[in-house]
Amino acid sequence: MDGVTLTSAFLAGLLGSGHCAVMCGGIAVAFTGLPGVEDTRQVRLRALRMQIGRVASYTLAGVIMASIGLGLATLADPEPVTRFFRVALGGVLILAGLQLMRGPGKMDWLAGPGRRVWQRLQPLTRHFLPVNTPWRAYGLGALWGWLPCGLVYTLLLAAWFSASPLHGGALMLAFGLGTLPALMAISLGAAGFQRRLQQHSTRIGLGLVVMLGGLVTALAPVLVNLPVLGPILIALGCKV
């Protein structure tokens, strides 16, 4: 895992915030702006705690998926498997960039496998309502992180191909941090930030950056040997 890959994951989260707003915007508003709460600082803290819980769940899911990938990788010859997983990881990031350029609602078909998990977890949310303590906010946010979402599952596939619990967790942490600005803005009633992210030119530009990151990830073993590009990639932390 290198800086290019983590940056791509972060940008996927940032650009995918529009999709997150469609999926989770109602949750963000419903559980942070509770009636009778006049202290703006209290509302902000509640929103932040829920977001921390959500990102923590993304990170845990990344560790779990990468651990499964690692287990499969150990069953075969390490060198070709490592090459395949790197190319596959880059390919998934390219797919994520393409999906993000198409806009919200284009990735929901990937969330199918997680719906059964969510059916089991959803009843637990009632134990964290009302959200009137810090730990209830963290807990509800942690459950929120398992809500079926095609974009999240696309990045979890990338975590699987990282075949390293540390790297898979780091990738999903970067993705989760990318989703924070828009969802925090929605929670606090500032939806203009999310609308700007969903402008066509912004979507295309950042989508291309995510795709470029995926391409560099996949081709890093070749690119680092190029005279000019190689030193730049190595300085950026790109590993082979």
Tell me the mean pLDDT per 10 residues along the chain, length 240.
79 72 53 53 83 94 92 69 77 80 59 71 83 87 83 85 90 92 71 61 77 79 66 59
- Classified as helix, coil or strand, 97 is helix
Query: What pLDDT score does 12 carry?
Result: 83
The domain locations on the chain are 3-235
Any idea what DSSP says for residue 1?
A: -
The answer to whether the beta carbons of residues 151 and 59 sit under 8 Å apart is no
Type of residue found at 204: I
Query: What is the model's pTM?
Result: 0.78
List CB contacts of 118: < 8 A, sequence separation 6 or more. 146, 147, 148
Measured at the CA of 5, the angle between CA 102 and CA 90, to 5 degrees, comes to 65
Query: What pLDDT score does 36 carry?
Result: 44
**Residue 231 tokens, joined:** 């030193």
Query: What pLDDT score does 62 carry?
Result: 94
**Residue 178 tokens, joined:** 């990318």
Q: Which of 142, 152, 194, 184 is nearest to 29 (CA)?
A: 184
Measured at the CA of 66, the angle between CA 74 and CA 81, to 5 degrees, comes to 40
The answer to whether the beta carbons of residues 238 and 2 sit under 8 Å apart is yes
* Residue 176 Cα to chain centre, angstroms: 4
Q: Ramachandran region of residue 36, left (φ > 0), alpha (ψ -120 to 50) or beta?
A: left
